[in-house]
């Protein structure tokens, strides 16, 4: 049986914070979208992929993946960097972990 994907965050009410995180990360990547939901259009434009705010039935799966990959990849890299920074700070403050 196929699973249905949901665009809702697992944690209730985390949507705004995730959108803001996405916007901040993509700003550091050089994109200047005015609102978080506009990031995908700016990324698509930079990749030369036509993305319409209303209908994208013509959009190929590969192109959609390129857009989402740019955004999701940048977000994951930032989350890993933040976790590494937090772990290294925790380790240096409390001494070696065993």
Q: Tell me the pLDDT tens digit for each residue of 2-51.
A: 666 667 888 888 988 988 899 999 999 999 887 888 899 999 999 999 99
DSSP 87: H
CA dihedral sign of residues 18, 81, 38, 27? positive
Q: Report the chain's terminal Cα–Cα distance, integer Å.
A: 44
pLDDT in tens, 38-82: 899 999 999 999 999 999 999 999 999 999 999 999 999 999 999
Question: Cβ distance 40 to 51 under 8 Å?
Answer: yes
Q: pTM, whole model, 2 decimals?
A: 0.74
Residue 47, number of CB atoms within 10 A of its CB: 13
């Amino acid at each position: 049986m196929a699973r249905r994907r949901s665009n809702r965050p697992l944690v209730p009410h985390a949507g705004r914070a995730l959108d803001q995180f996405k916007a901040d990360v993509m700003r550091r990547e050089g994109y200047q979208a005015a609102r978080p939901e506009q990031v995908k259009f700016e990324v698509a434009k930079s990749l030369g992929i036509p993305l319409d705010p209303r209908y994208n039935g013509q959009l190929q799966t590969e192109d959609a993946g390129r857009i989402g990959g740019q955004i999701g990849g940048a977000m994951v890299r930032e989350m890993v960097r933040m976790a590494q920074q937090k772990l290294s700070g925790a380790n240096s403050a409390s001494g070696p972990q065993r």
